[in-house]
Structure 1
Amino acid sequence: MKKVIFSFFIPFSFYAQSVFQGKLTEMDSTQVIPFAAIGIVNKAIGALSNEQGHFIFESKLVTPNDSIQISAIGYKTRIFSVREFENHMYKTIQLEKLANELDEIIIESKKLKTEILGAKKFTINNCTGFVKGSKNWQGSETASLAGNKEGRHVYIQEFSFYIIQNKYTDSLQFRLMFYEASPKKWPRWRTFLRRPILFKIGIEKGLYTLDLRKYQLNTEHDFFISIECLEEEIDISKFCYSGANAQPAFVRPAAYEWWNKTRGGGAELQVKVAYPAK
Structure 2
Amino acid sequence: MKLYRKTPLFLFAFLLSFTVLNAQHILQGRIIDAFTKEPLPFVNIGVLKKELGTVSNEDGFFFLEVPDVFAKETLRFSMIGFDERDFQVADLEAILLSNNTLVLAEQTTFLEEVVLTAEKKWDTRVSGNSTTSKLLITGFTSNQLGNEIALFVKVKKTPAYIDGIQFSVVENIYPEVRFRVNVYSSDYRFPDENILKENIFVTLKQSEGLISVDLKEYDILVDDDVFISLEWIDEDLGSEGLWFSAGVFGKSIYARSTSQAEWKKQRGLSLGMSVTLREASK
TM-score of the superposition, structure 2-length normalised? 0.81
Structure 2 CA distance for aligned equivalents of residues 82 and 246 of structure 1: 42
> 1:103–1:201: structure 2 CA closer, same or farther, 3 Å change rule?
farther
Q: Report the CA distance shift for 1:26/1:72 in structure 2 as closer, same or farther (over 3 A).
A: same
1:258 maps to 262
Select the residue among 211, 215, 219 that pairs with 1:212. Answer: 215
Compute the RMSD of aligned alpha carbons. 2.6
Partner residue, 1:228: 231
Structure 2 vs 1, CA of residues 51 and 270 (structure 1 numbering), >3 Å: closer, same or farther? same
- Quote the residue 1:8 is aligned against: none
**CA displacement, residues 174-202 of structure 1 (integer Å, 9 cap, x when unaligned):** 1001112222x3222x3111111111000
SS in structure 1 opposite 2:162? strand
Q: Give, in whole Å, the separation in 2 of the partners of 1:162 and 1:101.
A: 37
Deviation at 1:213, TM superposition (A): 1.4
Q: Could you give the per-residue CA deviations for residues 62-109 of structure 1, whole angstroms, max 9, x where no partner exists?
A: 555332211011101121334544665984543220247866754223
Give the gaps of 5 or more residues in structure 2. 1-19
Post-superposition CA distance 1:207-238 (Å, at most 9, x none):
111111121111111111110111243444x3
Q: Cα distance 1:211–1:106, how it changes in 2: closer, same or farther (>3 A)?
A: farther
Aligned to 1:6: none
* Aligned residue pairs, count: 257
The corresponding residue for 2:178 is 173
Higher helix share: 2
Residues in 2 aligned to 1:76 and 1:128: alpha-carbon distance in whole angstroms: 34
Q: Deviations over 1:10-51 (max 9, x none)?
A: xxx998211101111224433221111122234332211112
Partner of 1:66: 73
Q: Identify the residue that residue 139 of structure 1 maps to in structure 2.
A: 146
Partners of 1:68 and 1:268 in 2: CA distance: 33
- Mind listing any 5+ residue stretches in structure 1 that lack a counterpart? 1-12
Find the counterpart in structure 1 of residue 127 from structure 2: 117
Given that 1:130 and 1:142 are in contact with CA atoms closer than 8 Å, whether structure 2 keeps it comes out as: yes
Letter in 2 for 1:273: L
- Percent sequence identity is 28
Distance across 2 between alignment mates of 1:62 and 1:242 = 39
- What is the 5 A alignment of 1:41-190? 41-82=48-89, 84-85=91-92, 88=95, 91=99, 93-99=102-108, 106-108=115-117, 109-119=119-129, 121-125=130-134, 126-132=136-142, 136-149=143-156, 152-169=158-175, 171-183=176-188, 185-188=189-192, 190=193
The AA in structure 1 aligned to 2:217 is K
Corresponding residue of 2:198: 195
Alignment correspondent of 1:246: 249
CA contact (8 A) 1:173 1:229 kept: yes
